[in-house]
């Protein structure tokens, strides 16, 4: 396969109508300074070494959790094995929120001071390439960098919540204010399956409190952290409604562009792979490295795919489901350079 033929295949996926669904994983945020799972694990280890609980069960589960982390278990595996109590889980949620929020705020201030986001350039391309474009973004991240990218375009941003200082979950998640539609060019829906830094839960409801820097009293961040209760949490509002909306989007997908997504999340990739297989929908993966789940679930699963990743000796390897593999000296696996292929 020639370079020109390969690039045209990539352009066909990107330029499809309706727009392909964009799936963002942690690999999309980490280059901007958002903490990885490894960093979060270290932060939690430091926190719990200084924390004392009166509840014996909490004390014991923290001892187990810390031991598993020190034995180099991953954060999710350590939480599953430790089976933490509710009070410990709440502390984990709050500490994760504080860490990601601090990272996220640095990103925000950099953008205010003139820094650009490559994701914004991708949104711009997709929006201005077609009339009345609607882009659906599925994100497993808590950070707001996708929202910041939308803010840099002329698009309307929808997260499922009313766009006010104390937003509430809409009955129709996908609504678009008709009287303001003429003021925007396109629309971007961001479906955050594990919650957002902006979302908080009290005993009555969840609220969207944009760019808040402290956790309100009597509220807890509405984010799902790894652990034994992860599935249970997704059956609660707003995650339940968002998963239904994501399923609907996948049913109507023309293609998938996965950016920094390692296919580790059981709430996203099973439906994605099912629809890809059933309808022969192509999967374009942009990633630094091919994770074991990508190899096992995408490459060995006989899906139609193009994977753009870092080469073993630098540069870029592009692998296709046709068995083709081309190497390039340029780092096309970095989003800013990938844009050169599609423009």
Phi, psi of 138, rounded to the nearest 5 degrees: -105, 120
First to last CA, the chain: 20
What long-range pairs does 163-171 form, CB within 8 A, spacing at least 24?
Answer: 165/209, 165/210, 166/207, 166/208, 166/209, 167/207, 167/208, 167/209, 167/210, 168/205, 168/206, 168/207, 168/208, 169/205, 169/206, 169/208, 169/237, 169/238, 169/241
Phi/psi of residue 283, each to 5°?
A: -115, 120
Q: Which helix (H) or strand (E) holds 160?
A: none
**Residue 60 phi, psi (nearest 5):** -70, -40
Give 51: exposed, middle or buried? Use CB within 10 Å, 0-12, 13-18, 19+.
middle
pTM, entire model: 0.92
Record the tokens describing residue 268, joined without a space.
């996203």
Are 299 and 292 in contact, with CB atoms under 8 Å apart?
Answer: no
Structure letter (DSSP) for residue 285: E
- 135, 184 contact by CB (below 8 A): no
Per-residue pLDDT of the chain (343 residues; tens, 9 = 90+): 899 999 999 999 999 988 999 999 999 999 999 999 999 999 999 999 999 999 999 999 999 999 998 998 888 888 888 888 889 999 999 999 999 999 999 999 999 999 999 999 999 999 886 767 899 999 999 999 999 999 998 788 999 988 766 667 877 787 666 555 566 678 999 999 999 999 999 988 899 999 899 999 999 999 998 765 666 676 778 888 999 999 999 999 999 999 999 998 887 999 999 999 999 999 999 999 999 999 999 999 889 999 999 999 899 999 999 999 999 999 999 999 999 999 8
Nearest to 283 by CA among 22, 29, 28: 22
């Amino acid at each position: 396969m020639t370079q020109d033929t390969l690039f045209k295949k990539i352009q066909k996926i990107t330029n499809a109508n309706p727009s392909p669904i964009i799936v963002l994983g942690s690999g999309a945020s980490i280059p901007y300074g958002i903490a990885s799972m490894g960093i979060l694990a270290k932060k939690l280890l430091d926190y719990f070494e200084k924390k004392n609980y009166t509840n014996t069960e909490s004390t014991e589960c923290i001892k187990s959790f810390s031991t598993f982390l020190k034995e180099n278990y991953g954060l999710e595996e350590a939480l599953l094995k430790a089976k933490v109590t509710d009070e410990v889980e709440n502390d984990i949620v709050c500490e994760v929120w504080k860490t990601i929020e601090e990272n996220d705020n640095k990103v925000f201030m950099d953008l205010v001071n003139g820094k650009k986001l490559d994701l914004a350039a991708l949104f711009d391309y997709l929006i201005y390439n077609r009339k009345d474009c609607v882009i659906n973004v599925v994100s497993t991240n808590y950070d707001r960098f996708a929202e910041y990218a939308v803010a840099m375009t002329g698009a309307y941003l929808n997260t499922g919540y009313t766009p006010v200082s104390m937003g509430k979950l809409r009955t129709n998640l996908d609504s678009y204010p008709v009287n303001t539609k003429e003021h925007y060019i396109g629309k971007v829906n961001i479906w955050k399956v594990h919650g957002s830094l902006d979302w908080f839960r009290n005993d009555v409801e969840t609220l969207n409190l944009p760019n808040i820097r402290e956790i309100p009293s009597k509220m807890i961040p509405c984010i799902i952290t790894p652990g034994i209760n992860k599935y249970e949490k997704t059956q609660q509002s707003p995650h339940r409604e968002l998963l239904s909306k994501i399923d609907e989007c996948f049913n109507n997908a023309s293609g998938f562009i996965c950016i920094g997504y390692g296919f580790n999340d059981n709430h996203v990739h099973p439906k994605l792979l099912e629809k890809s297989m059933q309808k022969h929908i192509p999967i374009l993966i942009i990633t630094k490295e091919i994770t074991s789940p990508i190899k096992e679930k995408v490459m060995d699963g006989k899906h139609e795919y193009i994977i753009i990743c870092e080469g073993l000796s630098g540069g870029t390897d592009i692998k296709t489901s046709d068995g083709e593999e081309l190497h390039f000296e340029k780092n096309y696996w970095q989003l800013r350079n990938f844009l050169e292929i599609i423009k």
